[in-house]
Amino acid sequence: MRKIPLIIDTDPGIDDAVAISFAMFHPKVDLKLITTVAGNVSVDKTTENALKLVEFFGSDVPIARGCQEPLLKPLEDSSEIHGESGMDGFDFGTPTRKVIPEHAVEALRKTLLESKEPVTLMPIAALTNIALLFKLYPETKSKVKEIVLMGGSLSRGNTTTAAEFNIFTDPEAAAILFESGVKITMIGLDVTSRAVLMQKEVEQIKTMNRAGEMFAALFSHYRGGSMKTGLKMHDVCALAAIVEPELFDFADTFVEIETGKGPANGATVADLKMKCHRETNSTVALDVHVEKFREWFLEMLEQTK
């Protein structure tokens, strides 16, 4: 089986932790690099959390520390959802692994340009690192097969009425990506909010393996949903869209990012009827097949050891 070369740009974060863990063990994935950025918590904490995860699983995937703030606006983190550390609930201990010396933008450039085949980028955080990469090194765009991101929404937001957190955190960076000409698949909040685990699955996860025990401990401190309404597995949907795209329904469209200072700041405006644009710039998820997603989640957890 030919594996998909993959780079994850992330701000762990509890649902990020699930996505990273699954990517390390998925048989279709060759995880080449993890880059971190400020978002759910500070970049120091997101970087430490990424180190904790790779050390927990004994992985040798390199980790590069990225941007500590958005391009233009102050950082507004999401520690109220993910806890003070970003991954409260499980004692990983202090990691002994270290980041590589290059900044994330430089590590992205090097990894892309040295790859023998185009690489898929999976940003599940603010898009600051990748926006800077494209501005500083536009030649890297030709080495990107596609960008599959968790972010945006075709309906309401979760940070403001209009904006989803990852895009709201750095809308200027998001605008750079959607204007880049690189193939983009957007898995938005309106879809990922339906990709939930119920109490039945969480109880099952606890006893499956050590990864399940770790996930269940993190979920007990995760305020991304509830046991009654379901725990929202936002970020792992990006990985699912890469390896099992049939779990989703998609449409090709044109997406614009609102960067003004008003209440629409950070909104992802999709021209689904293509009344204002002649060409599309992205593929957007319209729906997720929830029961099949839950089955896939549990199958992936069995392989994550």
Catalytic residues: 234
CA atoms within 13 A on the CB side of 255: 32
Residue 266: which of 180, 189, 181 has the closest Cα? 189
What is the maximal distance between C-alpha atoms in the chain?
A: 54
| Contacts with 33 (C-beta within 8 Å, 6 or more apart), sequence order | 7, 8, 61, 62, 63, 64, 107, 108, 111
DSSP string, 13-67: -HHHHHHHHHHHH-TTEEEEEEEE-SSSS-HHHHHHHHHHHHHHTT----EEE--
181: tokens are 């000409």
CA distance 276 to 244: 31
| Contacts with 23 (C-beta within 8 Å, 6 or more apart), sequence order | 6, 8, 29, 31, 122, 239
Residue 173: which of 211, 135, 204 has the closest Cα? 135
Neighbours of 166 (CB within 10 A): 31
CA distance 228 to 196: 11
| Contacts with 232 (C-beta within 8 Å, 6 or more apart), sequence order | 15, 192, 193, 195, 196, 224, 225
Residue 136: which of 114, 104, 184, 167 has the closest Cα? 104
CA atoms within 13 A on the CB side of 249: 8
Q: Are 166 and 263 in contact (CB under 8 A)?
A: no
